[in-house]
């Protein structure tokens, strides 16, 4: 073989290597991009889970406080007012329509309220 043929073979080998090298580089870049995308997704998910964890800790703290107060007289009266719409004997329950048309109860003390016999009594926000 002559020198020219040898140089032509070398050039062909170099030309074959260039597309192969280019394909390898493209594959590496695509895989790296996929890994980076996955890492970013995991970071976002981690941030969301940290926020959710903090909210749950706050809720747990509030529930523990409520659990401590659950047997107190004030707490029981408050829950009876809110959930059952109960009032003390010397109080009157006023029901006002909401903006959407439904009615809600609102217990209110009135210093000149009258009981069922028509007698005027002074109210106290005390205990029943």
Confidence band, pLDDT 50/70/90 cuts, at residue 115: very low
- For residue 69, the model assigns a pLDDT of 83
Give the whole-angstrom CA distance, residue 49 versus residue 41: 12
Residue pair 125/110 in contact (Cβ under 8 Å)? The answer is: no
- For residue 79, the model assigns a pLDDT of 85
Number of domains, the chain: 1
Residue 99, domain member (yes or no): yes
- For residue 41, the model assigns a pLDDT of 98
For 39, the 3-state DSSP assignment is: helix
Residue 43, domain member (yes or no): yes
- For residue 74, the model assigns a pLDDT of 87
Residue 25, domain member (yes or no): yes
Residue 114, domain member (yes or no): no
Query: What digits encode the pLDDT tens for the residues 60-72?
Result: 999 998 888 888 8
Can you give the pTM of this predicted structure? 0.44
Q: Count how many residues are written for the chain.
A: 128
Q: Residue 25 above 60 pLDDT?
A: yes
Residue 103, domain member (yes or no): yes
Strands 92-97 and 103-108: antiparallel
Does 67 or 16 have the greater pLDDT score? 67
Residue 117, domain member (yes or no): no
Q: Residue 7 above 90 pLDDT?
A: no
Contacts (Cβ under 8 Å, ≥6 apart) of 88: 123, 125, 126, 127, 128
Residue 122, domain member (yes or no): no
Query: What digits encode the pLDDT tens for the residues 35-53?
Result: 999 999 999 999 999 999 9
Domain range for residue 89?
3-108
Confidence band, pLDDT 50/70/90 cuts, at residue 88: confident
Residue 48, domain member (yes or no): yes
């Amino acid at each position: 073989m002559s020198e020219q043929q040898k140089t032509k073979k070398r050039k062909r080998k170099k030309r074959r290597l260039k597309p192969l090298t280019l394909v390898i580089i493209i594959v590496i870049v695509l895989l790296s991009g996929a890994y980076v995308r996955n890492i970013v997704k995991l970071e976002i998910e981690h941030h969301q889970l940290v926020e959710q964890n903090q909210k749950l800790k706050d809720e747990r703290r509030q529930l523990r406080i409520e659990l401590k107060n659950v047997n107190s007289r004030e707490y029981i009266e408050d829950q009876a007012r809110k959930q059952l719409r109960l009032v003390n004997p010397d109080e009157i329950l006023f029901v006002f329509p909401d903006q959407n048309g439904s009615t809600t109860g609102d217990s209110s003390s009135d210093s000149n309220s009258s009981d069922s016999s028509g007698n005027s009594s002074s109210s106290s926000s005390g205990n029943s």
